[in-house]
């Protein structure tokens, strides 16, 4: 079985390409380890890419979970330094509505301050001046240092830096089994979903960073992590109605956070326990949509008349500690398991629990344990060393430097790639042709992503560049991007099949909210793709459908 050449043996193999896995790969690589990261889909496809994109100040957890609150504010300040191009300093407001208990506000402010989170009580009028979209009926408001973070950019930047430091990244590769040598795990069996090839990869330490899927990984290793899958649904609106994160000042509940991000805003979440066998097929129900809409309007009444772009859902990787069915009263704390001491399995650790906000800290803790096992003494530097994209100038400075007559696509790509945007070719008019009008994605940026950012298909391309993420959800840009993909991959049949998958993946988020403008948009899309392009009629096979569901 051991066919791998010298490059098949690693110090550490990380399973999972979410923020935690990517962060761990970066940390390990920066400490000089030989790293392999294995992800069964694309990077940032699990819970990493399916949340609010909220740069928590920790205030939300201040009353109920001090430990999480402290971790959040500390990581909040670190990310503002090391990932400038991924975060936006918006600040946040915790609003008290007439139906809420104003008495909670004092408790909240004290708890914030005890955890080191700046919390300033504002007069309702002042709060409304700061955020005019907020419900004018508020009876109280507290300002905290919340912000927003783009999880795709953040994960991508970690992957890029890991690769710059020698890590190898395998996307669309799934760990099917572990390779044991007595009581020690020495490697993994891997299935390449693109080529269908199977291989073995060997490493001294294996890190399970697979989020909710980590329970399945642990099972393959012969142990059990009692995970608690809690589904959270969210809605994206087509306008950025608020510039400040809006929260409800009460015990955490459904749909009580509205986060602005780029040109949109996101309301969420719901929280429902789901069976483990459904975690690959998260669909938003009409009932969840109705809850999100009615609660969201209490934060910002104008949401009632704002176009909804899509609905999506993620699964929180919570580790069960009690039987609370709502999934809210358990700590969002970080869980690091050394399976050698816990289960007698050497060479295997799991890093789970936690949240997007604490991915870096989770990576640091996991890497510390890996280093301890390997006898490596290098210290963690990820809290100080900026990520690629934030190393030099700020996105604003970059876009000023790059801008000429064609300002918009330049600014947009600088916003997305930070100081890496200078590698994007905008040398001639051809490179500046727009592929995606909604998001100002130029042909040069698409080609940069296709060549440099491990893009296998159109959905991957969307995560790197925002192609197809705008108001029209891929109406024209999908077809253009498919043409460019066909040229790069030299395979037209694949590009056409991929276009179909991409359009279906967009629809998955649209049908739960298919009325009003969203339905109009879809009718137009259908007349273009099913009508003019003739893509209707051939219903996808069952296996194809299942593959689409996993995206």
Partner 1 sequence: MRYDTIIIGGGLSGLVCGIRLQKAGQKCCIVSSGQSALHFSSGCFDFLDRLEDGTVPGNLAECLVSLPESHPYSKIGAETAKKYMGEVPEFFAGCGVRLCGNPYRNSYRMTPMGDMCPTWLSLEDFPLAGEPDAKVADRALVVNIFGYLDFNTAFVADALERNGTVCRVISVRIDEMERLRMNPSEMRATNIARVMDRPEVCGKFIAAVSEELRGEDTIILPAVFGLASDEVLPKIRSSFSADVRFVATMPPSVPGIRTQMKLRKAFEHAGGVYLLGDTVNGAEMSGDKVLSISTSNFGDYRLHADNYVLASGSFFSKGLVAVPDKIYEPVFGLDVDYAGDRKEWYDTDLFSPQNYISFGVATSRDFRPFKDGKPVSNLYAVGSVLSGTNALNEGSGAGTAILTAFRTADLILGRVDSSKAGQSLK
Binding region for partner 1 (CB under 8 A): 283, 286, 290, 293, 405-406, 408-409, 429-430, 432-435, 437, 442-443, 476, 479-480, 482-484, 486-487, 492-493, 495-496, 500, 503-504, 506-508, 511, 514-516, 519-520, 522-524, 526-540, 545
Q: In angstroms, rounded to a whole number, what is the distance separating the alpha carbons of residues 414 and 408? A: 10
- Asked if 432 and 425 count as a contact pair (C-beta separation under 8 A), the reply is no
DSSP string, 268-314: E---EE--GGGTT-----HHHHHHHHHHHHHH-GGGGGSPEEEEEEE
Tell me which H or E stretch contains 336. Answer: strand 334-338
Q: Which is nearer to partner 1, 1 or 539 (CB)?
A: 539
Q: In angstroms, rounded to a whole number, what is the distance separating the alpha carbons of residues 345 and 397? A: 50
* 280: CB partners within 8 A, 6+ apart: 549, 550
Q: Please report, for the chain, how many H helices and E strands are present, in that order.
A: 19, 22
SS (H, E, C) 141-189: EEEECCEEECHHHHHHHHHHHHHHCCCEEECCEEEEEEEEECCEEEEEE
Indicate the Cα dihedral angle 39, 42, 45, 46, nearest 10°.
-10
Alpha-carbon dihedral sign for residues 243, 512, 317, 295: positive
Q: Exposed e or buried b for every residue in 502-533, given b needs 16+ CB within 10 A?
A: bbebbbbbbebbeeeebeebbeebeebbeeee
Q: In angstroms, rounded to a whole number, what is the distance separating the alpha carbons of residues 154 and 160? A: 10
Q: Which is nearer to partner 1, 6 or 305 (CB)?
A: 305
Q: Which is nearer to partner 1, 199 or 488 (CB)?
A: 488
Strands 198-208 and 245-248: unpaired
Write down the least CB distance from residue 470 to partner 1, Å: 13
Write down the least CB distance from residue 132 to partner 1, Å: 26
Q: Which is nearer to partner 1, 464 or 508 (CB)?
A: 508
Alpha helix positions (H), 276-406: 286-299, 339-343, 359-374, 395-402
Which residues, in sequence order, are bridge partners of residue 257? 247, 268
Write down the least CB distance from residue 531 to partner 1, Å: 6
Q: Which is nearer to partner 1, 92 or 444 (CB)?
A: 444
Q: In angstroms, rounded to a whole number, what is the distance separating the alpha carbons of residues 159 and 171? A: 11
Q: Which is nearer to partner 1, 244 or 443 (CB)?
A: 443
103 backbone dihedrals φ, ψ, rounded to 5°: -60, -25
Q: Which is nearer to partner 1, 302 or 528 (CB)?
A: 528
Write down the least CB distance from residue 311 to partner 1, Å: 13
Write down the least CB distance from residue 445 to partner 1, Å: 12
How is residue 418 written in tokens?
Answer: 């930070």
Write down the least CB distance from residue 457 to partner 1, Å: 16
- Asked if 449 and 478 count as a contact pair (C-beta separation under 8 A), the reply is no
Q: Which is nearer to partner 1, 356 or 479 (CB)?
A: 479
Write down the least CB distance from residue 362 to partner 1, Å: 35
Write down the least CB distance from residue 528 to partner 1, Å: 6
Q: Which is nearer to partner 1, 1 or 405 (CB)?
A: 405
Q: Which is nearer to partner 1, 13 or 477 (CB)?
A: 477
Three-state DSSP state, 477: helix
Beta strands in 474-531 (DSSP E): none
Q: In angstroms, rounded to a whole number, what is the distance separating the alpha carbons of residues 102 and 250? A: 9
Residue with tokens 């709060």: 127
Q: Which is nearer to partner 1, 136 or 286 (CB)?
A: 286
Residue with tokens 């790069």: 488
DSSP state of 516: H
Q: In angstroms, rounded to a whole number, what is the distance separating the alpha carbons of residues 442 and 439? A: 9
Write down the least CB distance from residue 307 to partner 1, Å: 13
Write down the least CB distance from residue 314 to partner 1, Å: 19
Write down the least CB distance from residue 139 to partner 1, Å: 30
Three-state DSSP state, 120: strand
Q: Which is nearer to partner 1, 124 or 483 (CB)?
A: 483
Q: Which is nearer to partner 1, 72 or 469 (CB)?
A: 469
Q: Which is nearer to partner 1, 378 or 530 (CB)?
A: 530
Write down the least CB distance from residue 480 to partner 1, Å: 4
Write down the least CB distance from residue 506 to partner 1, Å: 8
Write down the least CB distance from residue 428 to partner 1, Å: 9
Angle, in degrees to the nearest 10, between helices 443-452 and 407-417: 30
């Amino acid at each position: 079985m051991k066919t791998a050449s010298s490059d098949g043996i690693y110090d550490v193999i990380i399973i999972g390409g979410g923020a935690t896995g990517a962060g761990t790969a970066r940390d390990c690589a920066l400490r000089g380890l030989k790293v392999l990261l294995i992800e069964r889909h694309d990077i940032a496809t699990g819970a990493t890419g399916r949340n609010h994109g909220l740069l928590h100040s920790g205030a939300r957890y201040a009353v109920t979970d001090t430990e999480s609150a402290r971790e959040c504010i500390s990581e909040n300040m670190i990310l503002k330094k090391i990932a400038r191009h991924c975060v936006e300093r918006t600040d946040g407001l915790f609003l008290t509505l007439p139906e809420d208990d104003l008495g909670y506000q004092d408790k909240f402010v004290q708890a914030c301050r005890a955890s080191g989170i700046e919390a300033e009580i504002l007069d309702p009028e002042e709060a409304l001046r700061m955020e005019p979209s907020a419900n004018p009926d508020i009876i109280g408001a507290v300002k905290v240092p919340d912000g927003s973070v783009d999880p795709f950019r953040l994960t991508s930047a970690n992957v890029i830096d890991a690769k710059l430091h020698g890590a190898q990244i395998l996307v669309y590769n799934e760990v099917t089994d572990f390779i044991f040598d007595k009581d020690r795990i020495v490697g993994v069996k891997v299935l390449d979903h693109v080529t269908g090839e199977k291989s073995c990869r060997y490493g001294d330490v294996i890190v399970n960073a697979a989020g909710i899927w980590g329970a399945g990984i642990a099972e393959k290793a012969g142990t059990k992590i009692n995970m608690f899958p809690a589904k959270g649904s969210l809605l994206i609106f087509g306008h950025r109605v608020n510039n400040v994160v809006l929260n409800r000042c009460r015990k955490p509940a459904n749909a009580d956070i509205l986060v602005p991000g780029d040109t949109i805003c996101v309301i969420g979440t719901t929280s429902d326990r789901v069976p483990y066998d459904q975690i690959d097929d998260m669909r938003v129900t009409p009932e969840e949509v109705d809850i999100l809409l009615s609660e969201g309007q209490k934060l910002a009444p104008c949401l009632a008349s704002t176009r909804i772009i899509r609905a999506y859902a993620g699964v929180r990787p919570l580790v069960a500690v009690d039987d609370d069915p709502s999934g809210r009263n358990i700590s969002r704390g970080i869980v690091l398991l050394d399976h050698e001491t816990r289960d007698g399995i050497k060479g295997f650790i799991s890093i789970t629990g936690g949240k997007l906000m604490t991915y870096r800290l989770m990576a640091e803790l996991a890497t510390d344990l890996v280093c301890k096992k390997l006898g490596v003494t290098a210290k963690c530097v990820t809290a100080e060393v900026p990520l690629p994209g934030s190393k030099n100038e700020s996105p604003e400075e970059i876009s000023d430097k790059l801008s000429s007559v064609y300002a918009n696509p330049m600014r947009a790509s600088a916003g997305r790639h930070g100081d890496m945007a200078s590698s994007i070719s905008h040398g001639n008019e051809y490179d500046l042709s727009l592929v995606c009008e909604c998001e100002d994605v130029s042909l040069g940026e698409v080609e940069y992503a296709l060549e440099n950012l491990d893009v296998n298909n159109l959905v991957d391309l969307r995560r790197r560049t925002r192609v197809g993420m705008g108001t029209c959800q891929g109406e024209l840009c999908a077809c253009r991007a498919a043409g460019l993909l066909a040229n790069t991959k030299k395979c037209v049949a694949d590009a056409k099949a991929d276009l179909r998958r991409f359009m279906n993946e967009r629809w998955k988020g649209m049908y739960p909210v298919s009325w009003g403008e969203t339905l109009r948009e879809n009718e137009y899309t259908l007349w273009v793709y099913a009508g003019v392009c003739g893509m209707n009629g051939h219903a996808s096979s069952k296996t194809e459908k299942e593959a689409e569901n996993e995206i």
